[in-house]
A and B are shown apart, each in its own frame.
Chain A
Amino acid sequence: MIVAATYAAAAAVMCIGAYGLLVRRNLIHICMSISIMETAAILLVVLLAYDPAGSAPILDPEVARYVDPLPHALALTAIVIAAAVTALGLALAVIIHRRLGTLRIDELPRLLR
């Protein structure tokens, strides 16, 4: 039940991000949309390791069943990468605003010509 709901949530978040990416024209909104889409993907990664009966993955003779640590590591990595890419995108938006005086992506092709 909870798994199905989380899948639905991930799909919904992904669609929200994709909608923003397609509709928004502001560079900062676009960065946000990408970030939202990445969040949805990370949610899917975390779901890979969901196990309500599992305990923390620490080597311990008493623990028989533990959650798979690999998706957690993958999720952390993906979060770090997403944060770095978002930071880069925002930094580029700042440079574009300073040098070209706009944040609207549909004005860029005209300015680049």
Chain B
Amino acid sequence: MSSFPVLVILIPLGGAFLVSLVQLLLPRLVKPLLIAVALAQGLVSAALVTAVARSGAVSHHLGGWPAPVGIALVVDELSALFLAVAGIGMPLTLLYLTATSRTSPGKTAVLLCLYAAATAGQTVTGDLFNLFVFIELTTVVTIGLIARKGTGVSAAHAFHYLLYASLSGLFLLLAIVLLYRATGTLDLARIAALGPDLPPRVAALALASVMVAFGIKIALVPLHLWQPGAYAAAGSSVAAALSGVGMTVSTYALVRLVWSLGGGNDVPGLVLRVLLVGGCVNVLVGHVLGLVQRDIRRMLAFSSVAHAGYILMGLGLGTAAGLAAGMLHAANHAIMKMAAFWSGRALMQHASTPWIPRLQGVAYAAPGWFALFMVATLALVGIPPFHGFASKALLARASLDQGLDLPVVVIAVGTAISLAYYARLYVVALRIPRRPRAPPPASPGRWAAGLIVAVLCLACLALGFATPAVMPALDRAAIRAFGLPAAVGHPRSETTPRSAPDPFGPEAP
């Protein structure tokens, strides 16, 4: 079990290498190989996450070197949730790509394998150096994924992202320099232990750099400008991974660093306020701009901006309940956004256009896909019984517990606006077309793709009911992050403290 944190990086990394090799030698074997890589990665990640949920953190010291010299890979309760998103979301993306690509999935499959390795690496690493490397690997792969169609437009969007991402990497490197100078270590557990003793100026500068670095990755307004174009250029099948997995994993890195530097219970108030206000702004800006989009992919991209806002709002509340609700929403968003992108892609294929006004009658041409799209988008809006409602309700409650009304108003307004833009799409899709639509070009792997999206939609529904069962684990993770005693914060947090030592937690709770 202790080698599993290595495997979740090695399997997709080796897969990327093998896929590019097999593509040259035996192109027929590429698809089976991709399916094998996806299944192996998914199973190992699921086993690892279950083990962490059952018996606490799993860590692995590479080469058997202990802490001060060696490099640790750690999966604790906080990272387990995000590992679940990366380690199951990416295999699903690979399976979807394998199912829907007409011929060999080509270079996109290699890039997606690398993306799987980089995002899983971000969640399991216990070391700032490795975190930096995995983040930069993610950046480089993302640039490749945005430019994958090879057109001038996609290259321009990729360049746009490259500009933002290099600045993000630069700020992260500056934060690392500051932290290494102040603490003499890059081990995240040591930094978390030393965090409270950092000189305030160093902590503030490092936090500011971290906020800008991850604000770009998460698309914190006004650093979101790269995102809609990039998602549209990458295409829906890949944009689902960029939004569902990439953004979620960046959120994890932000939480990990901010909460380490903040040092347990007193994360500097200003950072929290930036997260809270920034989250509210993101929700409003994302939804309002989503309302005026005429391209499904751009509409879903702006919805990602808005949902990043909900997540950051939860983090910014500064309580364990808020953090737990934000994390739950991050995982929920990954599921529903992937389902929305992929079912939306099928609608676009049936209408042969991404333009919303030209989708008339697509609901009759593809009733199954339209139903799946409705489930995914209604979950995004936050209609009960889907799980989007559960996490939004928990967010609202966590904010009321803090005596804050404004975030609740923002959540309500955002929900109303998002319902408006999805309802507009439903109305167009349900309108009976004036002349019968030409039959769409046959799309390969319809049933397999439909099955994957249906599973995601079922998860939207099942998790809506399973939220009370999941919350204790998330609360535990959030309380760990804060180093708070149990029973503070979320009302449902009377949990027994874990017996296994927590490498990230404070020495003595």
State in angstroms the CA–CA spacing of A30 and B169 once bound together. Answer: 16
**A88 contact from B133, B143, B151, B167, Cβ within 8 A:** B143
Chain B: interface residue count, which band? 20 to 34
Q: Mark B118-143, 1 if CB is under 8 A from A, else 0.
A: 00000000000100110010011001
Q: What number of A residues sit within 8 Å (CB to CB) of B?
A: 32
Q: Are A112 and B153 closer than 8 Å at their CB atoms?
A: yes
Which B residues, 163 to 180, have Cβ-Cβ distances below 8 Å to chain A?
Answer: 163, 165-167, 169-170, 173-174, 176-177, 180
Contact A81 B136 (CB under 8 A): yes
CB distance from A12 to the nearest CB of B (A): 16
Check B173 against A88 for contact (C-beta < 8 Å): no
Interface pairs (28), CB distance under 8 Å: A21-B163, A27-B159, A34-B167, A37-B166, A38-B173, A41-B170, A41-B173, A41-B177, A44-B174, A45-B173, A48-B180, A48-B181, A73-B129, A74-B176, A77-B133, A81-B133, A81-B136, A81-B169, A85-B143, A85-B162, A88-B143, A88-B162, A95-B147, A96-B159, A98-B152, A99-B151, A99-B155, A112-B229
Q: Are A100 and B156 in contact (CB under 8 A)?
A: yes
B226 to nearest A CB, angstroms?
13
Contacts A41-B173, A45-B173, A85-B140: A95 and B166 contacting too (C-beta < 8 A)? no
Binding site for A on B (CB under 8 A): 129, 132-133, 136, 139-140, 143-144, 147, 150-153, 155-160, 162-163, 165-167, 169-170, 173-174, 176-177, 180-181, 186, 229
Query: A99 to B159, Cβ gap below 8 A?
Result: no
A108 contacts chain B at the CB level, 8 A cutoff: yes
Give the residue among A34, A37, A38 with the most B Cβ atoms within 10 A. A34
Contact residue among A27, A30, A45, A93 (Cβ-Cβ distance under 8 Å from B177): A45
| A34 and B176 contact, Cβ closer than 8 Å, known pairs A77-B133, A92-B158 | no
The CA-CA distance from A99 to B157 in the complex, in Å, is 13
Residue A20 interfacial (CB < 8 Å)? no
CA distance A95 to B152 in the complex (A): 6
Interface pair A44/B177, CB less than 8 Å apart:
yes
**Which residue in B133, B152, B169, B176 is a CB contact (below 8 Å) of A100?**
B152
Contact of B166 among A38, A42, A112 (CB under 8 A): A38
